[in-house]
Structure 1
């Protein structure tokens, strides 16, 4: 995968795309679109680092494209720079109000375009680094609750367009309060980091996300993973945590630290509520705990009302 920043150029005039591409292609990966509708689809597919967007286009104009981008959780954070020959302050204000970060006036000056884009990409990189710190759990290095909310919003938005599957696992360390009381908080922190490492080893897909949900509770977001495979992953997590062999004399479930897990899988449809997966997985976590802990329980549910259609233990 290229480490160069990627830029999506959107313009109905191919000659303008060629000029901008020639100006930027030495240091950037370039995508292009000639219509507003195409631009939105390519942006969702490629997730560019920056979008250069023409204002005046037939059909869906640049303002409508910008508004659609900023309303889409998957691509809302991508900076948009308008390119226009308007020279109209009112038009510039309108674009900035819609969420654009800058304007470039045509005909372009290559040295100016490169400098502005370099500055905006540098600012984006710094924002991304700060944003990553804000959604990372300091102890385990996993994502935190804020990251969970963001990922669920993005994935349900993305997958609802194709009716894709989404699976979520919620897990809890069994009798962790007793562990802290018996062995102390330093040992408790070490236990949390070891469980987090076991969680990461069990999750293999590129788009999967692991989370410290809060306290001794963890989560996995598994896009495009069917329920049987999600159950296999959950059982692998349970087995890996047991294999750590961390003594826990205060547990009624096992002589070693163990986890209980709830798994929820559903098709994403337009209007799906991201927290539906959390509620369904939480309910299955309670099922696993009620059955004796150190167990996995799972369900396939329907997002239009969170109605269970199948379950497994």
Structure 2
């Protein structure tokens, strides 16, 4: 710096010497104020960018950059200014007055007034375009698209640090105005969200990584990972992150899943209503017919016995007339519960056959076994002592049983449907005989 205490002649000689140094220096020397506006500009601005110093003064460095580059470098420079620290090697791309892309390397030191207040920066720009080759306007367009893409995009190096990030990613992380380059990914994403070391291990092994779900700040994102390799050496040098907001799709999937669940429940309910009696909850006549046909076929195939029990409440019409239909319905429900509790084998099936009549299918049970079950049920109903003032005692039931012996079904010409019909008819006859015999009893037949 010139010595202000030197003689006027010496001071002027010093000034001229510095001006000659600046004029013949291949670097562009500049100063900016605290707002980043040029307050001094050497003549090399015209050589580097095609703008005379007069066209540069009062403007900012970012006015000469493509929009995306201005945003990126502006964020980095803002962080430097916030710390009022020197910097070096800040690479930035600028548009020459003729439209060419010029790459500059910028270094600078902070300036402070006599009162210690920060007043700006002094620095130099060096043209490094020849060292890295010329960049076409097409590259600028692609970078502008990258920067403005609605999908959050980032490039991560092997050390797990961000190399680059577009505006969407910076906004996603709440870092507007702050540089992301050089920052570790782990600072912003827990390993449970993005396991960067594990991803690099898999990518290095040649594996692909499936898209990952990323819940973040109350929203849902999908992360797509791609390996970045050195074309010449085919070495893994990094990976790209593409983070897409799929909150709406997630919501729609949830709604669809909930709707499917409701539909499944509704279908199950419809199936239950189709197969079960609405009053007692027992399987209905439709379910009984299907099951009886299947069990007769199994009886024929396995050579096992099959018993069928028909149970009818004694004097039920009198009960209905005396106590009313609501009481009659409750009586049917109580008998249905007794049947459910009185059958100990999961293979047995109790059904409401119609009116006050119930049927019980007993696979693999011979005539004596079926009679034991029937007697137990009859005695339980009697012990329940459901009042019936128009009957000899309380509520009772008459039971008819018929049994098919599996060995007898091997004869040709006897179809399962016919066997089921015969079995049902035989059980019905036995029920009639139990009624005629005085009710509250079991009558058994073997086909």
TM-score by length of 1: 0.54
> Given the alignment of the two structures, is residue 290 of structure 1 paired with residue 436 of structure 2, yes or no?
yes
Separation in structure 2 between the aligned mates of residue 197 and residue 125 of structure 1, nearest angstrom = 24
- Identify the residue that residue 236 of structure 1 maps to in structure 2: 376
Give the equivalent residue in structure 2 for 1:70.
none
Deviation at 1:123, TM superposition (A): 9.6
CA distance in 2, matches of 1:141, 1:275: 25
Aligned counterpart, 1:265: 403
SS in 2 for 1:265: strand
Aligned to 1:27: none
Task: Give per-residue Cα distances to partners, 1:92-150, cap 9 Å, x unaligned.
Answer: xxxxxxxxxxxxxxxxxxxxxxxxxxxxxx99997665333201001111111111101
Alignment match, 1:89? none
Per-residue deviation, 1:201: 1.7
Q: SS where residue 161 of structure 1 aligns?
A: helix
- Gaps of at least 5 residues in structure 2 are 1-261
2: distance between equivalents of 1:125 and 1:151? 24
Partner of 1:224: 364
Partner of 2:327: 187
Q: Are positions 1:279 and 2:425 aligned together?
A: yes
Structure-2 change in CA distance of 1:128 and 1:188 (3 Å)? same
Which residue number in structure 1 is paired with residue 306 of structure 2?
Answer: 166
CA radius of gyration, larger in? 2
Say which SS state the counterpart of residue 385 (structure 2) adopts: coil
Structure 1 CA distance, aligned partners of 2:382 and 2:426? 25
Q: CA offset at residue 278 of structure 1?
A: 1.0
User: C-alpha root-mean-square deviation of aligned residues, in Å?
Assistant: 2.3
Runs of 4+ aligned residues of structure 1 deviating over 4 Å after TM superposition are 122-129
Q: Secondary structure at the match of 2:430?
A: helix
Question: Is the counterpart of residue 199 in structure 1 residue 339 in structure 2?
Answer: yes
- Cα distance in 2, alignment partners of residues 127 and 262 from structure 1: 36
Who is 2:280 aligned against? 140
Q: How does 1:75-90 map to 2 (within 5 A)?
A: none
Superposition deviation, residue 159 in structure 1: 2.0
Which of 243, 248, 271 is the matching residue for 1:131? 271
Contact kept in structure 1, 2:402 and 2:423, CA below 8 Å: yes
